[in-house]
Chains A and B, each alone.
Chain A
Amino acid sequence: MIEVDGTEDLEFKWGKKRGIGGKKRDVQFYESFTFDGVDYALYDNVYLYKEDEPLPYLGKLIKIWENADKSKKVKVLWFFRPEEISNYLVDGLAHPNEIFLASGDGVGLSNVNPLEAIIGKCNVVCISKDSRNPQPSERDIQMADFVFYRTFDVGLCIIFDKIDEKIAGTEAKFIFNLPNFSVDDKNARENAIETNGRVSLTKPNSSEDQIPEDDRQEQKPVVAENLAPNDRQENGFNYKSTSDVKVSSVKPNISQREKLISGVLTDSVGQAKRDDRQESTYGNKTGFSGNIKENANSSVEKIGHANQVKIDEKLKSIKDTSELDERPYKKAKLDGSVKVSNDKESSRHPTDPCRTAKNCSNKLKIDDKLTKLTNCKTPAMPPNNGKRTGEKAVEVTRMPVSDRSNWFGEIPWEERMQDAHEQGKLVLFQNLDPAYTSADVEDIVWTAFKKTCRAKVLQRTAYSSSHSVQAFAIFDTREVAKDVITKLDKGCLLLPNQRPLVVCIPNPCFSRKQSTFAGHLIVDKLKSLREMKEAVSTSHCSQPNTLEYDMAMEWCLLAETSNQSWKKLYEQQWKEIKRVKANFKSK
């Protein structure tokens, strides 16, 4: 299924057939297809390109077919971005990435489009609390491109919370999350193993397996009651095993690299060429699982090797992203950054630079991301719980409290840290679960080493990783610290969720002098003015008609772009971690 050539033509291949329809019985309906290296299936959420529109449209594929004249069409049920229905959005957004599914009757519900308008898959998670909807985890929501739980009735122009039995002729179960969509869903992993063959439609769809209608007109939606839980078609796979929930955009020359790492199946290869903007969603459902098993062993070794290659390159590529200049863009004419900086009228809102910046940095990542690695599929592993089942698993016990109370009664942490650092007693633990507190760390050390320490978890700041946290720990003596470090480096202490504890000697900086701050400007001549002196101690909101406002906007834009870059970096790292983690075998 992987097209490894590097041609400019967008490869296309039909997937599973569904049935015949049309007035002359000459229309073939399909359940899935591969386009430009990406697998799509019925009910997937996709991006569609529209000429001259800066942002792609978001939609759900509700019908796929090929006409007698070989033209390929899809019927798309639309999602609305908040800006598109801002007039009707009274209550505000539940979530920064919230979108709205079209419902009801009328113009704007759905359209038939040529299949070639599709430019990528989109990860949309349904956060509706409806009982029919498989509930997403926090991680799923974080990793999603968009979330939705409300619909916008295009006829009545009203936003509804409830999802009816059918929308645009599609049953509600295909509107909600499909049962295996969740990243964290351990059960889903097992399900994934079962899916084989190229078909994406596995269990969820048996009921839908009817011969599609003869007419291709838009159907009248059926207003109704609640339905059984929905399945979203996107994932026959589970994510822990495949570990790249989002196939982010990829370097164009990935396909060559793929030849190096043969046998590793990725959908990114094809995507390398065209995935301009988005991190498309849940990786391939179909054919992979079967193929994966065959190639499993060979791929695992090769992954390891490829890792080395990527490490250096990724760092380099990340540096490349600092160039915000335009990159060649396949289809869409998005020029996010340029547009925003020149466009003073349209938005004073920081949120708009945010949006375009998001697309902009998405665009950049095409060439930079070494997602080849992250897209490697590894064999599905049986679920691992937080508790290790190995015989050596030890439950973490609390550190003896008496020890704790003896410690450095009143000296503030910073002083303690400084002293400890000078005496070599300070270590830095990494790769801790974000939920751990300082006390947890101390307990873990006690359980594992039978040594007491004082720990402090580093607070998360604007840019720190959300996958894991670090913690400082001060030990009794330098020898103890050294001992702990050696033990952890040579051996492996596994925390729940397969996190090995990593340790290093930190180099903390304690000086508080910080005289420069990028971004605050003073006009020299005005420095002496009394107003300026006062201005330093005051604060205010900037009004849109000043120069200061424009400059502030530039800062906002910069901030948003860097947010996006960080987000991508962390996602990529997360994927890498998951991939390696997938190699864990349970006993």
Chain B
Amino acid sequence: MGSAEQDEYAAFKEKVRRTVFMDNLSPIVTESVMRTALDQYGTVKSVEFLPNYLEPQNMPRCALVEMEKEKQAEVVISTLSELPFMMSGMPRPVRARAAVPEMFGDRPRKPGRHLHVHWLDPSDPNFEVANKLKQLVKKHSTENAVMLKHQLEKEEKLAKQQGETLKANYKKYEMLDTLMADGTVRRLARRYNFRISDDSGPSTFH
């Protein structure tokens, strides 16, 4: 049993090294989108989306992408951390990180580990301490939930902000476009003795 376990674990560790953890994914991203997106960096062996049972539902999704080689995984991570990568929409970029074993749902047991448990007697002085710890744990999980909520709020705020800036910019560009198109600009240029070149105007939101 020992060495089979160890082999399994070693293989698992290797898989972890080859895997990229991606988050900030939009809910409409599907496995095929991910595969096409990351194919340019190497062969994608599998894509697994992480289920989200306890966190608020409008959290961005995360996924584990297993590449064929560790080097490919590294390339993905480094490219995505240098340039923002958009998937199925903009401008929120997706993030990529190296995966850790805890991210995997079904992982093999680490060989050679022994667990002990024991029940604490209420008269044991450590009982109180342990109870405190329990309370602490619960407190922490509420804190985490609050923090998460905050984060989502912040994200939405930013998105809204950007939406408005975008609209404003778009309007600006549109206006410039129309001005160019209907000749106003040319007329004004003649009036003020400006020279304008004849290209078709600023690009729209790209």
Write the residues of chain A forming the contact surface with B, with a CB cutoff of 8 angstroms. Answer: 304, 307, 311, 314-315, 318-319, 321-322, 349-351, 386-388, 390, 392-396, 414, 417, 428, 430-431, 434-435, 437-440, 443-444, 447-448, 456-466, 468-470, 472, 491-496, 498-502, 504, 506-511, 513-523, 525-526, 535-543, 546-549, 551-556, 558-559, 562, 565-566, 569, 573, 576-577, 580-581, 583-585
Are A558 and B138 interface neighbours, CB within 8 A?
A: no
Is B142 in the interface zone, CB < 8 Å from A?
A: yes
Task: Give the chain B neighbours of A537 by CB distance below 8 A.
Answer: 33, 88
Are B28 and A551 interface neighbours, CB within 8 A?
A: no
Is B194 in the interface zone, CB < 8 Å from A?
A: no
Task: Give the chain B neighbours of A554 by CB distance below 8 A.
Answer: 158, 162
Chain B, Cβ-Cβ closest to A545: B206
What is the CB-to-nearest-CB distance from A465 to chain B, in angstroms, rounded to a whole number? Answer: 7
Write the residues of chain B forming the contact surface with A, with a CB cutoff of 8 angstroms. Answer: 21, 23-24, 26-28, 33, 36-37, 50-55, 57-58, 60-62, 79, 81-93, 95, 97, 100, 102-110, 113-122, 124-127, 129-134, 136-144, 146-148, 150-156, 158-159, 162-163, 165-167, 169-170, 174, 204-206
Instruction: Give the interface SS of chain A, mostly helix, strand, loop or mixed.
Output: mixed
Q: B169 contacts which of A456, A461, A514, A547 (Cβ < 8 Å)?
A: A547
What is the CB-to-nearest-CB distance from B178 to chain A, in angstroms, rounded to a whole number? Answer: 13
What is the CB-to-nearest-CB distance from A83 to chain B, in angstroms, rounded to a whole number? Answer: 14
Q: How far is the CA of A409 from the CA of B158 in the complex (A)?
A: 46
Are A392 and B136 interface neighbours, CB within 8 A?
A: no
The contact sample of 14 A-B pairs, CB cut-off 8 A, is A390-B118, A393-B117, A447-B117, A500-B133, A509-B54, A518-B155, A525-B170, A535-B90, A536-B89, A539-B33, A543-B83, A547-B206, A573-B143, A580-B132
What is the CB-to-nearest-CB distance from B133 to chain A, in angstroms, rounded to a whole number? Answer: 5
Task: Give the chain B neighbours of A444 by CB distance below 8 A.
Answer: 115, 117
Chain B, Cβ-Cβ closest to A444: B117
Are B130 and A558 interface neighbours, CB within 8 A?
A: no
Q: How far is the CA of A519 from the CA of B90 in the complex (A)?
A: 7
Chain A, Cβ-Cβ closest to B84: A552
Task: Give the chain B neighbours of A386 by CB distance below 8 A.
Answer: 114, 116
What is the CB-to-nearest-CB distance from B102 to chain A, in angstroms, rounded to a whole number? Answer: 4
Ranked 4 nearest A-B pairs via Cβ: A519-B92, A520-B89, A552-B84, A551-B91
Task: Give the chain A neighbours of B118 by CB distance below 8 A.
Answer: 388, 390, 392-394, 493-494
Task: Give the chain B neighbours of A464 by CB distance below 8 A.
Answer: 144
Task: Give the chain A neighbours of B127 by CB distance below 8 A.
Answer: 492
What is the CB-to-nearest-CB distance from A560 to chain B, in angstroms, rounded to a whole number? Answer: 10
What is the CB-to-nearest-CB distance from B11 to chain A, in angstroms, rounded to a whole number? Answer: 15
What is the CB-to-nearest-CB distance from A522 to chain B, in angstroms, rounded to a whole number? Answer: 8
What is the CB-to-nearest-CB distance from B124 to chain A, in angstroms, rounded to a whole number? Answer: 8
Q: How far is the CA of A398 from the CA of B87 in the complex (A)?
A: 44
Chain A, Cβ-Cβ closest to B109: A437
Known contacts: A542-B86, A554-B158. The answer to whether A319 contacts B146 by CB under 8 A is yes
Task: Give the chain A neighbours of B148 by CB distance below 8 A.
Answer: 463
Are B136 and A580 interface neighbours, CB within 8 A?
A: yes
Task: Give the chain B neighbours of A566 by CB distance below 8 A.
Answer: 147
Q: B108 contacts which of A437, A519, A546, A584 (Cβ < 8 Å)?
A: A437
Q: B82 contacts which of A349, A435, A493 (Cβ < 8 Å)?
A: A349
Chain A, Cβ-Cβ closest to B125: A585
Known contacts: A431-B137, A537-B33. The answer to whether A517 contacts B27 by CB under 8 A is yes
Q: How far is the CA of A538 from the CA of B90 in the complex (A)?
A: 11
Task: Give the chain B neighbours of A314 by CB distance below 8 A.
Answer: 143
Are A439 and B109 interface neighbours, CB within 8 A?
A: yes
Chain A, Cβ-Cβ closest to B92: A519
Are B86 and A548 interface neighbours, CB within 8 A?
A: yes
Q: A493 contacts which of B105, B109, B117, B141 (Cβ < 8 Å)?
A: B117
Task: Give the chain B neighbours of A458 by CB distance below 8 A.
Answer: 53-54
Q: How far is the CA of A435 from the CA of B91 in the complex (A)?
A: 36
Known contacts: A548-B206, A581-B129. The answer to whether A438 contacts B106 by CB under 8 A is yes
Known contacts: A536-B88, A552-B91, A577-B133. The answer to whether A521 contacts B163 by CB under 8 A is yes
Q: How far is the CA of A393 from the CA of B131 in the complex (A)?
A: 18
Known contacts: A496-B116, A519-B91, A577-B136. The answer to whether A558 contacts B158 by CB under 8 A is yes
What is the CB-to-nearest-CB distance from B106 to chain A, in angstroms, rounded to a whole number? Answer: 7
Q: How far is the CA of A387 from the CA of B21 in the complex (A)?
A: 34
Are A459 and B93 interface neighbours, CB within 8 A?
A: no
**Which residue of B23, B26, B136 has the most chain A CB atoms within 10 A of its CB atom?**
B136
Are A521 and B162 interface neighbours, CB within 8 A?
A: yes
Q: How far is the CA of A539 from the CA of B60 in the complex (A)?
A: 17
Task: Give the chain A neighbours of B121 by CB distance below 8 A.
Answer: 392
Are B62 and A461 interface neighbours, CB within 8 A?
A: yes
Are A492 and B119 interface neighbours, CB within 8 A?
A: yes
Are A456 and B105 interface neighbours, CB within 8 A?
A: yes
Task: Give the chain A neighbours of B122 by CB distance below 8 A.
Answer: 491
Are B130 and A500 interface neighbours, CB within 8 A?
A: yes
What is the CB-to-nearest-CB distance from A432 to chain B, in angstroms, rounded to a whole number? Answer: 10
Are B140 and A509 interface neighbours, CB within 8 A?
A: no
Q: How far is the CA of A387 from the CA of B118 in the complex (A)?
A: 10
What is the CB-to-nearest-CB distance from A86 to chain B, in angstroms, rounded to a whole number? Answer: 14
Q: How far is the CA of A539 from the CA of B41 in the complex (A)?
A: 13
What is the CB-to-nearest-CB distance from B111 to chain A, in angstroms, rounded to a whole number? Answer: 11
Chain A, Cβ-Cβ closest to B26: A517
